Structure 1
């Protein structure tokens, strides 16, 4: 692990579709970030509670369980206000009103380069 990767915040990737989650983990890991992954909001919250190095949440909106990605984003924003939030969806058209303040949104399919550039910009600001 290089010194640069150690300085960057880790990214928690929350996606219920295993292949999409695997692609996101590979994309973000290849961009030089440590990653954690979860398939549900409940699992994501458990990871947030146990890993203090997470600085970015990258979440899908449409997920099974009692909490969708927007609710997860609001929960993380409230409990960990220092964590940057990036939301992606291929099903839901979202308005800024439904997202926590400062959150970013990408429509699926998204350009990998655009997402990784955004994550790098966030990391540079943290």
Structure 2
């Protein structure tokens, strides 16, 4: 969040659902969507049951494991 607050013009945020600290990737995605609605999101996870992330507005879910071409495609589609 602090990086987004300090910088302007962030087009895409790439986050894992599992993050250290008090905020997970889904919470981050929600906050980004509220504060910076034009910023696109790509959310990833290695947990198969987290596929509900696919239902988020304006987010794209990228399941792990993925290869570089898949990551580039997801970011390109989001941007």
After TM superposition, is the score higher than 0.5? Answer: yes
Matches within 5 A, 1:13-92: 45-91=1-47
Per-residue Cα deviation, 1:37-73 (whole angstroms, up to 9, x for no partner): xxxxxxxx00000110211010001112111000000
* Alignment partner, residue 67 of structure 2: 111
Aligned with 1:93: secondary structure? Answer: helix
Q: TM-score, normalising length from structure 1?
A: 0.56
Structure 1 residues 94 and 121: CA distance shift in structure 2, 3 A = closer
Report the TM-score, using the length of structure 2 for normalisation: 0.86
Match for residue 93 of structure 1 among 31, 50, 56: 50
Distance 2:24 2:31 in 1: 11
Structure number with greater Rg is 1
Q: Distance in 2 between matches of 1:84 and 1:59?
A: 11
Distance 1:93 1:52 in 2: 30
Moved over 4 A (4+): none
Q: How much has 1:120 moved relative to structure 2? A: 2.2
Describe the SS at the equivalent of 2:19: coil
Please give the root-mean-square deviation of Cα atoms over the aligned residues, in Å.
Answer: 1.4
Unaligned 5+ runs, structure 1: 1-44
